[in-house]
Structure 1
């Protein structure tokens, strides 16, 4: 998969093809075809791996939000953790652009964002049980989209734009304040 990621980063989607991936990975193209029928299947696999990593991180991280007194720092650290995941997964911003550009994969990015939005909405609901569940899910969706798109923007340059990350954290904190400015729930 690193061969596919490298090609995506160097040449974008136009340069990504099974022959180039097989050559870069030093394998026979027929071996590659035995695992992936086409480049769209490879892009799907790359997206699934990236999304699994992000969702595991968020699910684990958001467990602590329910009892965190200083939720603003907690949110800042969570966004910084998402930044670190992107640093450790070069090509993720390119992959997100590809997912939105290819008709066969455009729904993958949206589905992943919906799953992350549900995680955030559930964390809001656990922390502040006075927030209506529908509202918590809406807030989760908006903040998930906001952070994802702003980090995409931050990672359009090399190195990534720290100022945009800082503004993303501020936006997320201000948007979440009405739901999170409360005494943390005692129920875990």
Structure 2
């Protein structure tokens, strides 16, 4: 028996209606898992994070959890990628607005200050950093983010100083950004007054390289 045209046209729509609630529930469950994992990391650190505890607190079976995240590293990576995405957005916005040396100095200084303040206000970021140090794949992710941020800084420097050696600028910017990450990590482990002084010291050192590049 042949289907009527109306039945054929209605079928995809009906299927879409059935799929959407399932997709929405999956997204909500994933967000719940990540929220629970974030709280556990904040409370205990990455080393003590256990998949079984994430499943228990999320109210799901361990089998269901593994469908979303096959291991602990995947959970940490997902959280790190979210923080990285927001950081990249801020860096891109600030560096793309740079038009002159004054703007370059202001944008870089403000980004460094903002990053320090965000990490101070979000202790779980420190624990995620710690969890990344013991995993080679996560370390590569961190290194790649430093390359991306360094490239954005280099592009701004080259707009301001078009006569300088491009490769040298790219290498310097990459190193500056990676060392900046290390400085922030050190600073947040110190007392606030000392931590702020360390950030300011690194800012002075790095700005000398950023604002006085060697001509080609």
**2:93 aligned counterpart, secondary structure:** helix
Note the aligned Cα RMSD (angstroms).
Answer: 2.3
Q: How many residues align?
A: 180
The change in CA–CA distance for 1:166 and 1:59 in structure 2 (over 3 A counts) is farther
Q: Give the Cα–Cα distance (whole angstroms) in 1 for the partners of residues 138 and 212 of structure 2.
A: 38
Choose between structure 1 and 2: higher helix proportion: 2
Is the Cα–Cα contact under 8 Å of residues 154 and 165 in structure 1 kept in the other structure? yes
Which stretches in structure 2 are left out of the alignment for 5+ residues? 1-33
Aligned to 1:141: 174
The change in CA–CA distance for 1:28 and 1:180 in structure 2 (over 3 A counts) is same
1:31 aligns with 2:64: yes
1:172 aligns with 2:209: no
Aligned to 2:194: 163
Q: Give the Cα–Cα distance (whole angstroms) in 2 for the partners of residues 167 and 130 of structure 1.
A: 32
1:15 aligns with 2:48: yes
Aligned to 1:44: 77
Task: Work out which structure has the larger RCO, using CA pairs closer than 8 Å and 6 or more positions apart in sequence.
Answer: 1
Relative to the length of structure 2, the TM-score reads 0.73
Larger Rg computed on CA atoms: 2
The change in CA–CA distance for 1:102 and 1:126 in structure 2 (over 3 A counts) is same
Aligned to 1:186: none
Aligned to 1:112: 145
Residue 150 of structure 1: how far off its partner (Å): 0.8
Relative to the length of structure 1, the TM-score reads 0.82
Which stretches in structure 1 are left out of the alignment for 5+ residues? 183-188
**1:66 aligned counterpart, secondary structure:** coil
Is the Cα–Cα contact under 8 Å of residues 187 and 198 in structure 2 kept in the other structure? no
Range that drifts further, 25-34 or 52-61: 25-34
Residue 49 of structure 1: how far off its partner (Å): 0.6
Aligned to 1:101: 134
**1:130 aligned counterpart, secondary structure:** coil
Aligned to 1:122: 155
